[in-house]
Structure 1
Amino acid sequence: MCDSSNLDNFWKFNINPFLNSFRLLYCHQNRRNISYFTRSFKSVNRKFAFIDESGDNGLNFSKSGTHFLVTAVIVNESDYDAVEKGTLKLRSHYFRGGELKSSKIGKNAKKRKDILKDISGLKVRVFTVAIDKRHLVSKGFKYKKSFYKYIHRILDSELIKVFEELTISSDSYGDAEFMEGFQAYIKKHHPPDLFNNFNFKFEGSKSNTFLQLADFICGSIGRVYNSNDDDSDKSQYIEILKPVLILIYHWPPRYEKYINDLKDSGHIFNEIITDVSCRIALNYISAWSSTTDQVKKYQVECLKYLLFNFYINPDKYISTKELIRHLSPLESDTIKPTTFRLQVMAKLRDQGVLVASNERGFKIPTTEKDCLNFIETSNKTIAPMLTRIQRFRNSILLATNGQFDVLGPSQFSYLKKVFDDI
């Protein structure tokens, strides 16, 4: 019989060295030169994240801008070659084979939009953290390490915990301190095991087209938040990227700014409805952000995405298909529409979260019409069901001479009251 100490020693001296050697081999060799043996053991869920930053940690906003952004371009291993080919095609078409960089486009909004449209057709997903430095009032955030550590925590909670297998690459010529700190943070909080495996690479962007892609996307999103130029097209950049955009995580998650923006723009909305809808959604996200329950994770991510869309277009309804696509990184299999409706949307509403809906999809309610849309959509299902129940009940009452009421049992007392009051 094998006791626990022998089992621990076997794991320590036999299994762990193999796993560590395996990971080192994968991390330090070029992807195209990895042995067939190593590739055969890689998880089908492995993804690559290429990270770039825009802005800096400075709190002098006139010089450094008001926001610091970190963008991760995520690529499935199965799509790696196709995305690389598509990115090289972009370089050839727009940059004559040169480096794909946001700074090379500058104020040329038309060319930037054309490139972003082509990028939105690639099989990539984009996640961005946008930190509004104006709210970093604590003196501790004046120090770069404290500032970066806070962002590391956000990236960990929003990105790392979603994926089991992730290779993270960053430009070695960028802010090495930020990525080295992130690497140390992940190693400390996520020691490698059979279920989690994170690798880090520092490469020159000139030789890595994926890092160039991250640079262009991050730089374009950064112009939306930090550019002082008279760029009337910049509000369109995020909308163009929507097909590949997982989320832009705004910190702090304050919706009041967006309500004020709506006021300033003369947008028609109901401030009370908007305020209570956003507040309830944010409270729910805060309460369940650390949950390990898969359904709760779906609900939290769904709300984050609806809030994100409220920030960029408060009038737009988001289709079920788009919401399911957004949730797909959390699960290897695509969520079924029925599961989404019953386990995600219905359960959110059961908890008092306010979500409007119509035939086009779902949104955070901002107007009286949004609220009525939800009631109208629900009424299309509820009214026919009530009519069927009423007819069924009446037929049985008539046939039994009033001796048997199908709504008599106590569990149907609320329905009985509804019909008796009609």
Structure 2
Amino acid sequence: MHNHIAFLDEWGNNGLDFTKKQVSTHFIVVTLVLPKDKKDEAERIIEAVRKQFFQTGPIKSSKAEDDAKRRRAILSALVEAPFQIFALVVDKRQLTSEGLHYKGSFYKFLHGLADRELYRTFPNLELVADMHGSETFMDGFVKYVQANHIPNLFNQASFGFVNDHGSVLVQAADFIAGTLARCYDETVISDQRQSFIELLRPKLLTLKFWPDVFAPSLVKATLNQTQYNPVLADLSVNLAQDFVHRKLSSRSPQDVDQHTCLSYLLFHFRHIDPTRYISSRELIRHIESRRNATVSLHYFQTKVIAPLRDAGVLIASSTKGYKLPASERDLYDFVNHSNTIIQPLLSRINKCRDQIRLATDGAIDILERTEYDSLRRMID
């Protein structure tokens, strides 16, 4: 039984000769993911958006072109629908393989990057994509996805094509892909890209980049040294990316939740605001939207954040939430926040120890066992 359904569309072309005017620098894949029982509600909301802004025609990013005000209004209406966004942004300028100059190989490579993670996260996903190329190519592409990205015969995953005129959810994916193009592609990039990303942020399940390099193009550039230390920022990002890459193939629910949480922290750090803390509630909601299940605060703290830190990932925390550290101030926030927890705990243990020793004339010392040596030294 399919638990989730996803609607996929793309922006860009397969050209790699960047001296030509119409060749995009990036290729963008956008998938709108939602539980199947939310499909009717999503279609109803998006159809209302289509009628309001496009009248009798389909929703098309190209129809908004460079009208940033109109694009923001359409985005604001679209994100009311109950979907989450999985997006892949590929810098084609980094594609150096000769084989990728062929259309079939090019699309297989790009969909391979996107579909692998989608089917890893949603093994029973029903994926619907807009048509591309000839019928022969489409038939071959379906077989390729089934062979490489649908995990096994026991899962009920499927893949199919539709014409975008027949699906308002595919149309919405088209509009969002075109919007992300205006955030990253050099041929259409907009000075309003920050506002577009802000509107999409609550819906972004994953924003994946290839190659995955630190690209602070959307980070505010007015930060002073107390807010942003490039050495610490690079270290935070590199350690986080290393963990994400190491856990990419894991299907363990805890590993997937850690990957989800850290990917969100990375995205926010790199493309929204590296100084802002993200609340536990926001991070938990993001994990819940991906696994479609409730996550407790205790689980989040002990099975997500704690293992990430144990693995060497730098995560600062304060009463305001969590973030990747970008400055010394972030590091001291973490130490100070931890100190407010550690010091009272040590004090309570010491009071308990003193009371027991006093009552038993020193016969019982609850910290005398070997496994408590470090704790005893701290208290003493």
Pair 1:267-2:223 in alignment: yes
Alpha carbons of 1:271 and 1:181: their partners in 2 closer, same or farther (altered >3 Å)?
A: farther
| Distance in structure 1 (CA, Å) of the matches to 2:161 and 2:112 | 20
Residue among 80, 83, 88 paired with 2:39:
80
1:47 aligns with 2:7: no
Number of aligned residue pairs: give it: 374
Q: Aligned-pair distance for 1:395? A: 1.9
1:409 to partner: Cα distance: 0.5
1: CA distance, partners of 2:14 / 2:169: 24
Match of 1:398 among 336, 351, 358: 358
Give 1:402 deviation, angstroms. 3.0
User: Structure 1 residues 180, 381: CA separation in 2 closer, same or farther (over 3 Å shift)?
Assistant: farther
Distance 1:179 1:229, change over 3 A: same
1:373 shift after superposition: 1.5
Task: Pick from 112, 130, 145 the counterpart of residue 153 of structure 1.
Answer: 112
Please list, as runs of the form range in 1=range in 2, the aligned pairs for 1:41-120 lying within 5 A after superposition: 43=1, 46-62=3-19, 63=21, 64-120=23-79
For residue 241 of structure 2, the aligned residue among 282, 286, 294 is: 282
CA displacement at 1:196 relative to structure 2: 1.2
- Deviation of the 1:357 alpha carbon: 1.5
Query: Which structure 2 residues correspond to residues 271-350 of structure 1 after superposition, within 5 A?
Result: 271-313=230-272, 314-350=274-310
Matched-pair contact (CA < 8 Å) for 1:274–1:365 = yes
- Is 1:281–1:353's contact at 8 Å kept on the other side of the alignment? yes
Any idea what SS the aligned residue of 1:197 has? Answer: coil
Q: Is the 8 A contact 2:125 2:158 kept in 1?
A: yes
The runs of 5 or more residues in structure 2 that have no matched partner are none
Alpha-carbon shift at residue 379 of structure 1 (Å): 1.7
- Please say if residues 54 and 219 of structure 1, whose CA atoms lie closer than 8 Å, have aligned partners that are also in contact: yes
Partner of 1:131: 90
Q: Rg: which structure is higher? A: 1
Report which stretch shifted further, 373-382 or 164-173.
164-173
Distance in 1 (CA, whole Å) between partners of 2:295 and 2:180 is 29
Letter matched to residue 363 of structure 2: Q
The answer to whether the 8 A contact 1:190-1:196 is kept is no
Alignment check: 8 A CA contact 1:105 1:111 kept: yes
Task: Tell me: CA distance 1:147–1:194, structure 2 relative to 1, closer, same or farther (3 Å).
Answer: closer
Which of 340, 347, 352 is the aligned partner of 1:387? Answer: 347
Amino acid at match of 2:105: S
For 1:392, the aligned partner's letter is C
Structure 1 residues 191 and 400, CA gap change in structure 2 (3 angstroms)? closer
What's the offset of the Cα at 1:186?
Answer: 2.4
Does 2:329 correspond to 1:372?
no
Q: CA 1:346 to 1:374, structure 2 compared with 1: closer, same or farther past 3 Å?
A: same
Deviation readout 1:85-132 (Å, 9 max, x if unpaired): 111110121122421111111111011101111112110111100011
Alpha-carbon distance change, 279 to 180 in structure 1, aligned in 2, over 3 angstroms: farther
SS at match of 2:325: coil
Alpha-carbon deviation of 1:382?
1.1
CA shift, 1:70, in A, is 0.5
Aligned residue for 1:17? Answer: none
Structure 1 residue 82 displacement after superposition:
1.0
Using a 3 Å threshold, how does the CA distance of structure 1 residues 156 and 178 change in structure 2: closer, same or farther? farther
Residue 23 of structure 1: aligned partner: none
CA 1:193–1:415: 2 relative to 1, 3 Å: closer
Q: Is the 8 A contact 1:120 1:242 kept in 2?
A: no
For 1:348, what is the secondary structure of its paired residue? helix
Matches within 5 A, 1:195-214: 195-214=154-173
Question: Which residue is 1:11 aligned to?
Answer: none
Mapped partners of 2:341, 2:102: distance in 1? 56
Q: Distance in 1 between matches of 2:249 and 2:151?
A: 20
* 1:164 CA displacement: 2.9
CA RMSD, aligned part only? 2.4
Whether the 8 Å contact between 1:148 and 1:178 is mirrored in structure 2 is no
TM-score normalised by the chain length of structure 2:
0.90
The structure with more helix, counted as a fraction of residues: 1
CA deviations 1:215-250 (Å, max 9, x no partner) are 111111111111545732122112101121111101
Task: State which drifts further: 195-204 or 375-384.
Answer: 195-204
Q: Which residue of 2 aligns with 1:29?
A: none
Alpha-carbon distance between aligned partners in 1 of 2:193 and 2:231, rounded to the nearest angstrom: 29
Q: Which amino acid aligns with 1:338?
A: H
Question: Is 1:246 equivalent to 2:205 in the alignment?
Answer: yes
Q: Write the deviation string for residues 170-211 of structure 1: whole angstroms up to 9, x where unpaired.
A: 222668788655422222135686631222332222222111
Identical residues among aligned pairs (%): 36
The SS at the match of 2:57 is coil
Contact 2:128 2:159 in 1 (8 A): yes
Q: Deviations over 1:273-297 (max 9, x none)?
A: 1121111111112222212322122
Distance 1:69 1:360 in 2: 34
Q: 1:121 to 1:227 in 2, by over 3 A?
A: farther
1:419 and 2:375 equivalent? no
Cα deviation digits, residues 287-311 of structure 1 (max 9, x gap):
2221232212211222112111112
Pick closer, same or farther for the CA change 1:53–1:191 going to 2, 3 Å. closer
TM-score by length of 1: 0.82
